[in-house]
Structure 1
Amino acid sequence: MKISKIKVQNYRLLKKFELDLEEDLSLVIGKNNCGKTSLLSILNKFINDKRSSSRSSFTCDDFNIDFQKHLKQKIEENQDFGDNFLGLSLKLFISYDATDDLSNLSKILMDLDPLNTSTVLAFEYSMSDEDYQKFKTAYNEFKILKTAKIEERYSDAGIITPEELAARQILRDQKKQLIFHDFLKNNHQTYFKLRKKSVLFDLAKGIEDDSNFIDLISEGIQVDKIINLNIIEARRDVSNNDKDKTLSFLSSKYYEKKETNSNDSVAIQQFKETLTDTDSQLDAVYENLFKNIVEKVGTFGGVAQGDSVIKIISTLQHRELLKGNTTVMYDHNNEHSLPEHYNGLGYMNLIGMIFEIEVLLADFRREDRENEKPADINLLFIEEPEAHTHPQMQYVFIKNIKNILQAASKGLKPGDIVFNLQTIITTHSSHITAESNFDDIKYFTRKDKNQVIAKNLKDLEKDYVAAGEDKYYKFLKQYLTLNRAELFFADKAIFIEGDTERILLPAMMKKIDQEYPATPLMSQNISVVEVGAYSHIFEKFINFIDIKSLVITDIDGAKEFTSKDKDGKDVVAIKKCRMVDATSITNASLKFFHNGKSESAHYVSLKLDWKILRKNAKKGSWASNRKGRMLIVYQTAETNDDGQAYHGRSFEDAFFHLNKSLLVTPAYEFNSLTEKHLTKFLAGDIDVYDFADDAVGSKPTLAMEILLNSKTDAENKEFSNWQTPAYLKEGLIWLMKD
């Protein structure tokens, strides 16, 4: 038995949200503020909240913003309740088979068809039609009174200038806009009610039938035997303060869970017997220790003989003894034992999580409750396990956690309690992501500013396989694992060809920031990925993660050259050439994204807006679209300071065309350039195309030399003695904007 899917409606960013869960472990990843914590929150509030149906832990801010706007419009336009669901909901889709114990689930099953092996648990915080009508009436009365108070408080009395009148009107309008939110904030618990349901899963349609349900609250059916949720939150009580004994406290919690477990009864009994023996020994010690005060008490006498005779005995409690009286130590070089707070926070966090996991596993087994079986489904939610830990620790954690949890739920030895366990782990760690099974990964991304969706990474593999590009997906998976799992957490991405761009890009971004300081590139969460000339291999991935992406490539102009073979016959070959002579391009990525077009004239004529692309989901191809989130830039025609126009074919000739003066200055050293060709270029004997083609010995070295020879001007602007080629500059400016 397992949860196959989670659906959430109208909760914070989870407006219309669906998440497929894996059988064992689901790794939830995504950028900051993309709904990961909201998922934990709604699960906890609905499943673990023991409050009555008349009260809830939900607040006004839990309602999705678009839902609040919809409800406001519906009420102010005096619309009927209709068929719309008004509220928050969490649905757990439960799948089972013939091997499962259905004694608990049978109470909520609504379809006896043996082929239907799914049911839905639904939790709602919603309004009924009756409550909706009451809400409307109360809100309209509140609005009239509140509006009158606003008009009175922010009247135009005493205001003279038009500017003051306009400012006062704006203030009044702002206050009026908040009336609905104020009413909802203070009154939602009066009109929204908690509801728990078992909903029919319509096998024929493959969806839930909300009109066919069992009210679990009115029927008195508890769900804690069906599902048990335990959480390890990101805000863990880990500290290396010498007064803090977090791990030691966890050891006592662990004991409390294990105490009633029959499998550990021998160890528990030994502990209790040792305490009894210690009590007897302490009784004798206490008799001497407290002898003086006991005798003084005895001198006061009493009504009858012996009334004021007391004795002090030892009553060690096995549970209380562990609280504050155990210390977790760690061995240092096999010579000394050091207290827990000597550990770094990373180790303490990792050890603390292991303790917590063991405590929660004991809770799942119901070890502290006699004659009670584990719930049918046990859900463990671990939030951001990477806190305080370095990459190697994160690798160790994710490599081992799945095996540890599987072993615990399936039993390590005969007689162990077996239970169904599913785990959700959320993370911001690229290291944990890279070490994970990609089929377990769930990627959260914003669909718009008020809505988040979840994507299965294994669905991306299906897209590649369907297109006959299995090897591309294999390459992508290896590449992301070894190099760039950080892409999943980036807000924007830059895909570059090689070392030259990688080395120089930060300097170019800095130059853009100096010119446009309002939204600096260097302060944005941008991931730079080196893909060679194979950005087209990443196209499905770029579309999948749906972040603003800049692809930087070379135009690679070419034309047909005719030569003779050994038999004297003409042989036509496509070879690189100057862009002024080019008739075609050889760049595979450019041709892919532009539907196979190879004519150089097409690319030369494109303005920036036409280089912005968007994927057509139905056709599966990319097309120019100003609303697109991907831009491909390549060399364009430019005029340098000497008035010479030139269209570069690669970064090197485009850069040297603009920055010939950098090579003329004696103080600047470029050892990567062949002196013979440099002399010819400066003398005008060869053009920039031949110079870039023949003179550059090492492109990475050249890039480093450009940085080493860079200067800061009198206005403190860095890299001021060279210019960025236009195609790179316009691409970075586009990326800089939201």
Structure 2
Amino acid sequence: MQLTYAKVINFRALDKAEVRIDPKTTLIVGRNNSGKTSFVNLFEKFFGEDDTRFVLEDFSTCRIPDIEQALQIFAEAQGHAAAGDQETSEGLLTKAYDLVPAIRLELTIEYGEDDDLAPLADVILDLDDSCFTVKIEAVLEAARPQEFLKDFWTASQRQNFDPLKWLRKNFADYFSPVYRAVSPVDEKVTKEIKRSAAQAIISVKFVYAQTKVDDTPGDKARTLSKTFETYYKVKSGPDGRHQSVEQIEDALTAASLALDSSYESLFDPVFEDLRSFGVGTITPVEKPRIVSLMEGSGILRGSTRLQYPSGDGGFHLPEGHNGLGYSKLIFTILQMISFHQAYERAAPKPALQVLFIEEPEAHLHPQMQEVFIKNIQDFIKRKAPWTVQVVVTTHSSHIVASGGFHTVRYFDRSEPDGKVKDLSTFQAKVKATPHGDETLRFLHQYMVLHRCDMFFADKVILIEGTAERLLLPEMVRKCAEGLLHQYVSVIEVGDAYAVRFRELLEFLNVKTLVITDIDSIRPRDQKACPPGTDQAVTSNSTLKKWLPRESSISKLLAADPAAKEHGHVRVAYQVPEEDGGICARSFEDAFIIANAEILARDLRHLALKRAFLQEVGADPTTAEIEAGAFAIAKRLSKHKTDFAFDVMLLEGWSVPRYIAEGLQWLA
């Protein structure tokens, strides 16, 4: 039995989103404020242990105007009713009631013939023997929309009426959670169930990123100690007390009896004074008694500390001396153990268990992040037959790489309505294309070997080499300063692999700039040549297969900006710095042409000046450097990184035109 789909409607950033839940682990990724935390929070509000209250701001912002419009239509209906036009009034009232929004969480659960269906008995509403699906929905709605709108309208007649303040103040009086079973065969067939019945079907646990795990010095930090206290309470419950708990309680009872005798001896003089107070005038104060009541959880809470061995193991240090990453990992593991223990004690056991972990990468170093998901799965396997589905929200490229494409759900907020994209769909789509397996293998390897954070970026830049990567931050500052305030993922892909990212970037729908070289060659011998060479073609697969899908250099140089764009992707390759001028073949000669005057002036300061001297002499003019740029760049081909460092020492240099245009488009 497993949860397969969760559909969210009208909750915060999620106007309408459907998420397929993986049988084992689901990774929720996306940019900041894309709705990841909202998705988790809605489960907590409907299925968490605490009966969390909803507020007006939990509605998607686009739904608030619907309430105000419903009020206006209701007011119109009142006017028609007063005029005796009952038919029009009733039609308007129906329209007004329909506009009152509701927050929905619709869950689809699939089961097998061998599963225990007892927990699902109240929610199976179909008689189809071939149907192995049940649906339940949790809804926050106005149970009596007529009463809500009537009171809202009555309040609006007052002076100085503020509709939002009234809604905030009175929200909980009209909107409340309702749970229903829904037939998967006919959605009109529903049955209301209690919250407790819904929680008996799906049990949830939340491990949030902002836990009170800290590295307070000394012995002030006791977060983990308190977590062990919680575990003790679980194991000392009435159902299945652990043998060690019995031994602890016996020891505490013996200690308690000894303390009773000591307390009596210590406090007896005080009690005698109390008894003598008021003798002869009022009834003597009865002699009280102090007894020791020691409970295991109380001892843990007030008198127990978690310690770690020091380097030699002979001296123990308080938990506050432990690293944040290690403490966070232990805390998460303890929460999982607690969840498992709750499952073991439950009678009857819940049909499903879902564990939500928010941003586990907080304080974990990259290697620990990479194995985190695997360790969770290994833990669950060791606890068989316990089956639990894990949902992880993350900003970690390491966790995404270890999880694989099929587990990733990408929350895309690039469009106003937002979407949740299932990367298992992307995987299947790419797999069906020629060389699809090779593309997927490349992307997976790239994600494993490199910090690939395009899933979390506002924008993406693909570049070819080290020189561009080293100089890109300064180029952004010079010509597209707005990008400095956005999360831009820069991915170095070489000169032949940018096209491998095509399907993924188009699927993610993230705005992307591909900075590449025009790579002109002679068609007869496939050797590099200046772009101005007759009949020259490009060897660049990005330009031939992706954008602008041209091989001829003359057609590439004549392409208008629209031909270089498709959807959210634009390509930038070398163009003349001035119309009719010399065109470069690579980044190096493009930079040389764009900065010929500065290079002529400061040539003697360059560490790589020899490449210039061999082509244009010791005292070249600006025009001579421009004309010799292709040959100079050829000599620099094995020293591109050194050339980038040379550029960093130059003052007042300009960004090549093609890169400047691309960055300005991206900004």
Same fold (TM over 0.5): yes
Name the aligned partner's letter for residue 630 of structure 2. Y
Aligned position for 1:723: 654
The structure-2 alpha-carbon separation of the partners of 1:317 and 1:611, relative to structure 1 and needing over 3 Å to count, comes to: same
Say if 2:650 is the partner of 1:710. yes
Is residue 646 from structure 1 mapped to residue 582 from structure 2 by the alignment? yes
Following superposition of structure 1 onto structure 2, how do residues 37-52 of structure 1 map, counting pairs within 5 Å? 37-48=37-48
- Against the structure 1 CA distance between its residues 314 and 57, is the aligned structure 2 distance closer, same or farther, given a 3 Å change threshold? closer
Question: Per the alignment, do residues 580 and 439 of structure 1 end up closer, same or farther by CA in structure 2, a change over 3 Å counting?
Answer: same
Q: Does 1:661 align with 2:597?
A: yes
Q: Deviations over 1:502-531 (max 9, x none)?
A: 111112112225xxx5x3x22321111011
CA distance in 1, matches of 2:390, 2:187: 27
SS in 1 for 2:418: strand
1:673/1:436 Cα in 2 relative to 1: closer, same or farther (>3 Å)?
Answer: farther
CA–CA distance in 2 between the matches of 1:189 and 1:262?
A: 37
SS at match of 1:195: strand
Residues 233-282 of structure 1: per-residue CA shift (max 9 Å, x gap):
22212233332321111111111101137766321111111112222333
Distance 1:691 1:48, change over 3 A: closer
Could you state the TM-score of these two structures normalised by the residue count of structure 2?
0.88
**1:189-248 deviation line (CA, Å, top 9, x unaligned):** 45444321100002xxxxxx431111224xx97222212122122221223333232111
Q: Deviations over 1:664-686 (max 9, x none)?
A: 32541232753652444937496
Cα displacement (A) at 1:606: 2.0
Distance 1:221 1:703, change over 3 A: closer
**Residue 328 of structure 2: which of 349, 354, 365 is its match?**
349
Please tell me whether the aligned partners of residues 521 and 527 of structure 2 are also in contact (alpha carbons under 8 angstroms): yes
Kept in 1, the 8 Å contact 2:56–2:167? The answer is yes
- Select 2:72's aligned residue among 64, 72, 76: 76
Aligned amino acid, residue 730 of structure 1: E
Equivalent residues of 1:677, 1:695 under 8 A apart:
no
- 1:524 equivalenced with 2:486 (yes/no): yes
Counterparts in 2 of 1:85 and 1:457: CA distance versus 1, 3 Å: farther
Instruction: Indicate the residue corresponding to 1:499 in structure 2.
Output: 466
Q: Between Structure 1 and Structure 2, which shows a larger proportion of strand residues? A: 1
User: In structure 1, what residue type is equivalent to 2:110?
Assistant: S
Aligned match of 1:394? 369
Q: For each residue in 1:3-51, what CA deviation from the matched residue of structure 2 results, as whole angstroms up to 9, or x when unmatched?
A: 1100011111111110011112212111111111111211111123776
**Distance across 1 between alignment mates of 2:538 and 2:575:** 14
For the pair 1:552 / 2:493, whether they are aligned, the reply is no
Distance 1:264 1:698, change over 3 A: farther
Give the match for residue 141 of structure 2: 126
Q: 1:101 is matched with which residue: 116, 121, 126? A: 116
The equivalences for 1:327-406 within 5 A come to 327-333=305-311, 334-366=313-345, 372-406=347-381
- Give the distance between the partners of 1:438 and 1:4, measured in 2 at CA: 17
Q: 1:674 aligns with which of 611, 614, 628?
A: 611
Q: What corresponds to 1:608 in structure 2?
A: 561
In the alignment, residue 184 of structure 2 is paired with which amino acid? F
The change in CA–CA distance for 1:291 and 1:126 in structure 2 (over 3 A counts) is: closer
Give the SS at the match of 2:188. strand
Distance 1:406 1:662, change over 3 A: same
Counterpart check, 1:735 vs 2:666 = yes
- Change in Cα spacing, 1:290 to 1:84, as seen in structure 2 (3 Å) is closer
Partners of 2:5 and 2:19 within 8 A in 1: yes
Q: Which residue is 1:579 aligned to?
A: 531
The code of the aligned residue for 1:724 comes to: V
Contact 1:464–1:470 at 8 Å: present in 2 too?
yes
Q: Deviations over 1:544-587 (max 9, x none)?
A: 222111100111223433xxxxxxxxxxx444322222433221
- Cα 1:17–1:290 change in 2 (3 A) is same
Q: Secondary structure at the match of 2:9?
A: strand
- Aligned residue number for residue 26 of structure 2: 26
C-alpha distance after superposition, 1:648-676 (max 9, x if no partner)? 11112211112223433254123275365
Task: Tell me how far apart the structure 1 counterparts of residues 265 and 348 of structure 2 sit (CA, whole Å).
Answer: 50
Question: How many correspondences in the alignment?
Answer: 636
Distance 1:315 1:125, change over 3 A: closer
In the alignment, is residue 91 of structure 1 matched against residue 54 of structure 2?
Answer: no
2:294 is aligned to 316
Q: Which residue of 2 aligns with 1:632?
A: 571
Stretches of structure 1 that go unaligned for 5 or more consecutive residues are: 151-178, 203-208, 411-417, 562-572, 615-628, 712-719
Distance 2:521 2:575 in 1: 15
Task: State how far apart, in whole Å, the 1-side matches of 2:569 and 2:118 are.
Answer: 54
1:526-541 paired onto structure 2 within 5 Å: 526-532=488-494, 533-541=496-504
Following the alignment from structure 2 to structure 1, what is the Cα–Cα distance between the partners of residues 23 and 102? 30
Question: Are 2:410 and 2:423, in contact at CA under 8 Å, matched by a contact in 1?
Answer: yes
- 1:407 matched residue in structure 2: 382
What's the Cα RMSD here? 3.0
> What TM-score, normalized to structure 1?
0.80
What are the within-5 Å matches in structure 2 for residues 424-573 of structure 1? 424-449=391-416, 451-468=417-434, 469-512=436-479, 519=482, 521-532=483-494, 533-561=496-524, 573=525
The answer to whether the Cα contact below 8 Å between 1:557 and 1:582 also exists between their aligned partners in 2 is no
My pick for the range that moved more, 290-299 or 575-584, is 290-299
From the superposition, tell whether residues 85 and 540 of structure 1 become closer, same or farther in structure 2 (CA, over 3 Å).
Answer: farther
Pairing of 1:152-191 with structure 2 (within 5 A): 180-191=163-174
CA distance in 1, matches of 2:636, 2:390: 58
Distance 2:112 2:2 in 1: 10
Question: Once the two structures are superposed, what CA deviation does each residue of 1:127-156 show, in whole Å capped at 9, x if it has no partner?
Answer: 46xx4444555445544545xx48xxxxxx
Give deviations 1:291-313, integer Å, cap 9, x for gaps: 5435545666989x999555544
Once residues 222 and 263 of structure 1 are traced to their aligned partners in structure 2, the CA distance between those partners, rounded to angstroms, is 24
What's the secondary structure of 2:577's corresponding residue?
strand
Q: Whole-Å Cα distance in 1 between the matches of residues 523 and 362 of structure 2?
A: 58
Higher helix content, 1 or 2: 2
Structure 1 residues 487 and 273, CA gap change in structure 2 (3 angstroms): same
Contact residue 405 and residue 427 of structure 2 kept, 8 A: no
Amino acid at match of 1:375: P
> Which one of 47, 52, 58 corresponds to residue 62 of structure 1?
58
What is the CA deviation profile of residues 406-459 of structure 1, one whole-angstrom value per residue up to 9, with x for unaligned ones? 323x1xxxxxxx44421211112223223334322222121524x332222222
Cα distance in 1 for partners of 2:25, 2:246 equals: 36
TM-superposed CA distance for 1:119, in Å, is: 0.8
Inter-partner Cα distance in structure 1 for 2:94 and 2:344: 45
Q: Which residue of 190, 215, 226 maps to 2:201? A: 226
Q: Equivalents in 1 of 2:68, 2:542: separation in Å? A: 49
**CA drift at 1:486:** 1.5
In 2, Cα distance between equivalents of 1:667 and 1:34: 52
Q: SS of the counterpart of 2:574?
A: coil
Paired position in structure 1 for 2:544? 591
SS of residue paired to 2:94: coil
Cα distance change, pair 407–84 in 1 and its aligned pair in 2 (3 A): farther
Aligned to 1:551, what secondary structure does the other structure show? Answer: strand
Contact 1:672 1:701 in 2 (8 A): no
Specify the alignment match of 1:691 in structure 2: 632
Q: Distance in 2 between matches of 1:24 and 1:702?
A: 49
